[in-house]
Each structure stands twice: as C-alpha cells, then as structure tokens.
Amino acid sequence: MDDYKKLDKNYHKIYRTFSNKRKEVELCTSPVSCGPPIRDAITGSRYPNYKVGSKYEDLFFKTRLATTVFT
C-alpha cells in the first residue's frame, strides 16, 4: 500500500508533535481548479462522478490544512 501511495502525487505525509511525541499524519489533496474528481476525506479514494467545481461539490465537506511547517 505504501508503494501505491507514493505513486499518487496528491498524497502527502507530514509530521506533527502531540503530547511531546512525534506523530505521522497522512493526507490527500485535491487541486483547486475545476474538473478533477473529489476525494474522500477518510480513505482518499476518488469519486469519478463528482468533480471539483461542479454543482455536486456542495454535497461534500471541505477541509483546509492551515500551516506553514512541513517536515
């Protein structure tokens, strides 16, 4: 599965410190431009019938990662 994730250019792994322990956080991004499929927030799988910028976009939650620290 790790090899599959590495092939996905929108898959990222970042590290954060929680309770003095360094933890790994996995996340997937979607381009902000119109057209690409929307991704599931938990699994990262794509919904091919639902596109970013379409009228169906409001059926999904949107999230943002607001940080400037990447390691």
Residues 6 or more apart whose Cβ sits within 8 Å of residue 37: 30, 46, 47, 48, 49, 50, 51, 52
Q: What pLDDT does residue 49 have?
A: 93
25's tokens: 């956080």
Q: What pLDDT does residue 50 have?
A: 92
Cβ atoms of 31 and 52 closer than 8 Å = yes
pLDDT in tens, 15-58: 888 889 999 888 877 777 888 888 887 788 889 999 988 998 88
pLDDT band at 3, cuts 50/70/90? confident
